[in-house]
Amino acid sequence: MSSKSETGHAVNVANFNQLIIFVTGYGEAYNPSNEAIALRALQTVATDATATLDAIYSAQGPYNNAVAAREVVFDPLSKLVTRVMNMLKVSGVSKEVYDSVNTVARKIKGQRATPKATAPENGEEGEETTETKTRSTSQMSYDSREENFAKFIQLLSAIPEYAPNEVELQVATLTTLSNELQAKNSAVINAEVPLSNARIQRNNILYAPTTGLVETAGNVKTYVKAIFGATSPQYKQISKLRFVKIT
């Protein structure tokens, strides 16, 4: 949900509170037979709507933090895999072994199995031109990259020739990183649950047919028009208040 949409929900709630202020000012003249638009019912809707927005704001911070932390560990992954593949190339493995590992490496980096561009002149694996950066959406999800990186490490660990002196490229270090990727991705999923639930609750309170805030506000406007008239100052007060159903 975009920040613009979140702001739109808050505007709906703010306008509903303004609507309540206006109808409260009508005193005994505002006396609907429909209990759903009685002043007490409107106040309950406003309270519930404010509470559900607060729940979203409370859940949004931890979710944003988890997303940012995940990005920090995933962002350098493609370049690291490129370094590993270059190291594997000079380790003395056969072309068949190299190609087998490279198949998984390409999935991690979101490259085509057969790149559109020709190989770079220097012959280094993974030097990406504009055309070789073509992404595969299914393979570039965080879940897929995490899973493919784990497979990547399994393949490397089974290759005796792959024994770099560089600590950051060693299987043990890569395994530690793989565990961190999994932890950060899980943290995002866990943080998303309360945020998603809060948004479901908000959508129910604000936009449910018949009982939702937006439809209730429309009924209040119609009732005020009925008792005071479409050209009355009372109706003009509230007719300018906009309520938008955001999906």
* pLDDT at res. 116: 53
How far is residue 207's CA from residue 181's CA, in Å, rounded to a whole number? Answer: 38
The helix (H) or strand (E) run that includes residue 95 is: helix 95-109
pTM of the full structure: 0.77
Closest CA to 101 of 115, 116, 114, 86: 86
How far is residue 85's CA from residue 128's CA, in Å, rounded to a whole number? Answer: 13
CA dihedral sign of residues 205, 208, 214, 219: negative
How far is residue 50's CA from residue 43's CA, in Å, rounded to a whole number? Answer: 11
Q: Pick out the chain residues at pLDDT < 50.
A: 1-3, 117-119, 121-123, 125-138
How far is residue 47's CA from residue 106's CA, in Å, rounded to a whole number? Answer: 52
* pLDDT at res. 174: 98
* pLDDT at res. 40: 97
Contacts 24+ apart (CB under 8 A), 61-66: 62/191, 63/188, 63/191, 63/192, 63/195, 65/191, 66/184, 66/187, 66/188, 66/190, 66/191
Domain ranges, ordered by start, for the chain: 3-73+194-239, 76-190
How far is residue 149's CA from residue 48's CA, in Å, rounded to a whole number? Answer: 45
How far is residue 214's CA from residue 247's CA, in Å, rounded to a whole number? Answer: 12
How far is residue 214's CA from residue 13's CA, in Å, rounded to a whole number? Answer: 9
* pLDDT at res. 2: 44
* pLDDT at res. 47: 98
Per-residue pLDDT reduced to its tens digit, 18-48? 999 999 999 999 999 999 999 999 999 999 9
Counting Cβ atoms within 10 Å, is residue 48 exposed (0-12), middle (13-18) or buried (19+)? Answer: middle
- Asked if 223 and 37 count as a contact pair (C-beta separation under 8 A), the reply is yes
Closest CA to 180 of 75, 103, 106: 75
* pLDDT at res. 128: 47
Using alpha carbons only, give the angle 54, 238, 5 rounded to the nearest 5 degrees: 35
How far is residue 180's CA from residue 55's CA, in Å, rounded to a whole number? Answer: 29
What is the DSSP track for 2-38? -HHHHHHHHHHHHHHHHHHHHHHHTGGG---S-GGGS
